[in-house]
Structure 1
C-alpha cells in the first residue's frame, strides 16, 4: 500500500456520516487523515503511516509551534508600542495623568501583556530556534514579555535542556 492510498473530495454543502467514514477508512494506530480546505471544497487524504509521513507530521507540528510564538511576539510588541505611545502622550502633556490611568483601566487588553504560557522543554527549544534566527541574546524578562512566558522556571528548564544535550 502506498503512503497515500485514498483521496476524497467533499464539496461545501454536501454531507457524510463521520462515524461511517471513521469505521470504513480510519485505522487509528497506523493511518492518517489530512483535511485541506480550498475555497468551497475540502479535500481529504487518507493514507498509511510510514516514516516519511511521520517526519512530515513532526515538521508540521514544529512549524505550528513556531507560528504560535511568532504571532504572540508580534501581538505583544504591538502592545508595547501602544503603551510607549501612551507614555509619550502623558509625558508630553498631550493627555493628563488621569486620562492615562483611565485609558489603561478601560482598555487593559490593548496594553497589558499576560504571562500565560508556561515554559517547558519543548517551548524552550522552539524559542531557542527563533532566537538563533534573530541572532540576539535577550534577558529572561525580555523573553518572558515577548512570548508571554512565566519566567520563574527559566533556569530549571535551561539546566534540563543542557543536561539532555550532553
Structure 2
C-alpha cells in the first residue's frame, strides 16, 4: 500500500481501525501487571497517526525510539531508565531501521524477555509489512513475542479512505 499523507481528521478513522487492539493491551497491563508487545504493520502515515493518538490517550509514561537512531544495549538501558516501576509504554517506530541488524533485534529481545515482559510495559513496534514480517519470522529473535496487528489489511478490508 503506498504511503499517502493523511489529514488531521483521519486520526479518528485510524483510531477506529487499530485503537481497540491497543486499548485491550492497556487493560491487560492494568489487570495482570505483565508486559505486552504489539507489532503494528502498516504504512508510516497510518502507524504514526495511530501511535500518536494512542500515546495521547493512554495517560502512561512514554519512551519513544524514533527513526534515525539504532538500538544498542546501552541505548535501551539509557532510554528506559526513566520508566517507572509502575510501567509505561516503549514505542519503537520503524523497527527495521531502528534495529539495523540481528544484533539490534537481539538487544530488543533481551530487554523484553528480562525486563519489560515482567512489568506493566506495553512495547509498540511499528514498521511496514514485508520487513516486519521478516523480523517476527521463526528464525529471528523477536519471534512469538508480539501480537501482530496488520493495519494495511484492515484498511483494505474496510475500503477506508481519508476523504479524497
User: TM-score band, normalised by the shorter chain?
Assistant: under 0.3
Tell me which structure has the larger Cα radius of gyration: 1
The structure where helix makes up a greater share of residues is 1
